[in-house]
Amino acid sequence: MSKDFFSLVMVRASRFFFFFAIGLVSAPVLADAGQINASESDFKRTVNEADKPLAEQKILPWARADKVLRDALNRVGANGDFDPNKKVDWGIVPNFSYSSEQELALGVVAFGLFLADEESRRVENVKPSQIVFKTFASTNGAKEIGAGLRTLFKADTYRLYVDMEYSDTPEVFYGLSIEPSRDEANELLYDHQGQNLQVHGLKRVFGDTFVGLGVRYHKNQSDSFRGPNPGLATLLTDSTSVGVSGQVLRDTRDHQDNPTRGSVLQFDYTTFTESLGSNTDFDQLQFRYSGYRPLRTFLAKPEATLAWQVQGLLSEGEVPWDRLTLLGGSRQLRGYERGRYRGRQKVLAQIELRQPIVGRHSMVTWAGIGTLSDEISELGRERWWPSVGVGYRLRLKEKINLRFDLGFGRDDRGVYVGVNEAF
pLDDT digits (tens, 9 = 90+) for 111-145: 888 988 888 888 777 788 889 898 988 888 889 99
Please report, for the chain, the start and end positions of each structural domain, with discontinuous segments joined by +.
Answer: 3-30+76-419
CATH code of 3-30+76-419, in short, is 2.40.160.50
Per-residue pLDDT, 127: 80
Query: Burial of 71 by CB count in 10 Å (0-12 exposed, 13-18 middle, 19+ buried)?
Result: exposed
With a cut of 50, say whether residue 13 has pLDDT above it: no
Neighbour tally for 309: CB within 10 Å: 21
Please give the residue that has the higher pLDDT: either 32 or 308: 308
Task: Give the global pTM.
Answer: 0.74
Name all contacts of 263-269 with Cβ < 8 Å and 24+ positions apart.
263/289, 263/290, 263/291, 263/292, 264/288, 264/289, 264/290, 265/289, 268/214, 269/245
Query: What are the φ/ψ torsions at residue 362 (nearest 5 degrees)?
Result: -155, 170
Distance of alpha carbon 341 from the chain centroid: 18
| Alpha helices (runs of H) in 359-419, residue ranges in sequence order | none
The chain-wide mean pLDDT, for the chain, equals 81
Distance of alpha carbon 122 from the chain centroid: 31
Q: Do residues 363 and 301 touch, judged by C-beta distance below 8 A?
A: no
Q: What is the mean pLDDT of residues 71-86?
A: 66
Q: What is the mean pLDDT of residues 23-33?
A: 35
Per-residue pLDDT, 418: 76
Least confident of 88-97, 384-393, 413-422: 88-97
- Rounded to whole angstroms, how far apart are CA atoms 64 and 417? 24
Kindly provide the residue ranges of all beta strands, DSSP E only, lying in 154-261, ordered along the sequence: 158-173, 188-206, 209-226, 239-251
pLDDT digits (tens, 9 = 90+) for 186-205: 888 899 999 999 999 999 99
pLDDT digits (tens, 9 = 90+) for 324-377: 998 888 888 898 888 888 889 999 999 999 999 888 889 999 999 999 998 888
- Rounded to whole angstroms, how far apart are CA atoms 299 and 353? 13
With a cut of 70, say whether residue 44 has pLDDT above it: no
Positive/negative CA dihedral, 86, 92, 98, 103: positive
Q: What is the DSSP letter of 143?
A: E
- Rounded to whole angstroms, how far apart are CA atoms 95 and 146? 13
Least confident of 13-22, 133-142, 255-264: 13-22
